[in-house]
Structure 1
Amino acid sequence: MGKLFLVPTPIGNLEDITLRAIRILKEVDVILAEDTRTSGKLLHHLEISTPMHSHHMHNEHKTVDAIVRRLQNDENIALISDAGTPAISDPGFLLTRACIEKGIEVECLPGATAFVPALVNSGLPNDKFVFEGFLPVKKGRQTRLKFLADETRTMIFYESPHKILKTLAHFVAYFGEDRPLSVSRELTKLYEETIRGTAKEVLDYFTEKPPKGEIVIVVGGKK
């Protein structure tokens, strides 16, 4: 059988990719990309000409079986997301599970992922933490926030810039305005920024200065 490689890609700075990742992307038979246009720019920069196919959240349920058959026919395949490590709030879990069920070897390379530098840079306890990813948009959001209000470990969330104020306001309401937190945006990019303070202070800051770019929120646990 072939082998599935989960290959992390840079979250911003194009230098943040390993030598092994570049070699694997050159050697595999095909690369599965979340957005072939976005990944095409990276592959062109790295002088990688391996064929690409689209594999994203809207088609992964339909394409998993076909990919598994290709792996069973001795093809080696790499899966990448637009940025960071596949399957971390991105497609990858369904294909990985299917491969494991069929006895196909899966290897995940170490590499870039947004929440690790955001956590370490927050100054909040990182010996124990919980990764929450994106909160539910509507259904289940209130229930989840009420549950997390009593979480004692540091919590990590992903958020988009147009929803950040709503999420910070919910943190003030459910966790308390004095709960310490840190917001990191545009990690590894030119305008990287980390704002630390209480939930109320950070909400006030971004109310005055609406943020752009991808965002990671790190919230201190309940004392």
Structure 2
Amino acid sequence: MPVLYVVATPIGNLEDITARAVRVLREVSLIAAEDTRKTRRLLTAYGIRTPLTSYYEHNKLAKLDRILAQLEKGDIALVSEAGMPGISDPGYELIVAAGQRNIPIVPVPGPSAVTTAVAVSGLPTDRFLYIGFLPNRAASRRRAL
């Protein structure tokens, strides 16, 4: 049965990727990427020639069924612009849809902006709360804070 791999990608430094992630990105039949330009740079750096399709906030509904149909034919990797897909990311809907179809979902962990920020913050790390991205508008951002 085909698998949806949820693959973490580097946050800023292209060398911050696991060997397992590189292997999975080479072996899958398709990569669904939030930002194909950034993903193409990563793939080029590692000599990966796997076909790439876009899957981002503004096309996710139009692309979801096509990607799920492709997933029935072979393994797919889901990658975000940076970090782990599904965390404040449009990949969430694809992950949910695959789970509803009983398609195995395999995480390939790696860089995480959340844990990296907490680790170097100088604050206690035994408990913290992540509430996603702050709003873009200044007034909304102030209210959220």
TM-score normalised according to structure 1 size: 0.61
Structure 1 pair 143/67, CA: closer, same or farther in 2 (3 Å)? same
Rounded Cα–Cα distance in structure 2 between residues aligned with 1:40 and 1:101: 30
Gaps of 5+ in 2: none
Rounded to whole Å, the distance in 2 between the matches of 1:78 and 1:12 is 20
What amino acid sits opposite 2:57 in the alignment? Answer: M
Query: 4+ runs of 1 displaced by more than 6 Å?
Result: none
For the residue of structure 1 that corresponds to 2:53, the secondary structure is strand
- CA deviations on 1:37-67 (whole Å, 9 max, x unpaired) are 2211110000000010111111112211221
Q: Which has the larger strand fraction? A: 1
How far did residue 91 of structure 1 move?
Answer: 2.0
* Distance in 2 of aligned mates of 1:29 and 1:76: 6
Residue identity opposite 1:50 in structure 2:
T
2:113 matches 1:114? yes
Q: 2:131 aligned with 1:132, yes or no?
A: yes
Deviation, 1:129, is 0.8
Higher relative contact order, chain-length normalized (CA < 8 Å, sep 6+): 2
Question: If the length of structure 2 is used for normalisation, what is the TM-score?
Answer: 0.91
In the alignment, what sits opposite 2:51?
51
Deviations 1:147-204 (A, max 9, x none): xxxxxxxxxxxxxxxxxxxxxxxxxxxxxxxxxxxxxxxxxxxxxxxxxxxxxxxxxx
- Could you say which residue in structure 2 is the equivalent of 1:176? none
Which runs of 5 or more structure 1 residues have no equivalent in the other structure? Answer: 146-223
Rounded to whole Å, the distance in 2 between the matches of 1:135 and 1:81 is 18
CA distance in 2, matches of 1:62, 1:15: 33
Superimposed CA distance per residue, residues 1-56 of structure 1 (whole angstroms, 9 cap, x where no aligned partner): 31100111111111111111000000000111112122111100000000101111
> Greater CA radius of gyration, 1 or 2?
1
Cα offsets for 1:122-156 (capped at 9, x unmatched): 111111111022123358656543xxxxxxxxxxx
C-alpha distance in 1 between matches for 2:141 and 2:59: 26
Identity %: 47
SS in 2 for 1:5: strand
Quote the residue 2:69 is aligned against: 69
Report how many residues are paired.
Answer: 144
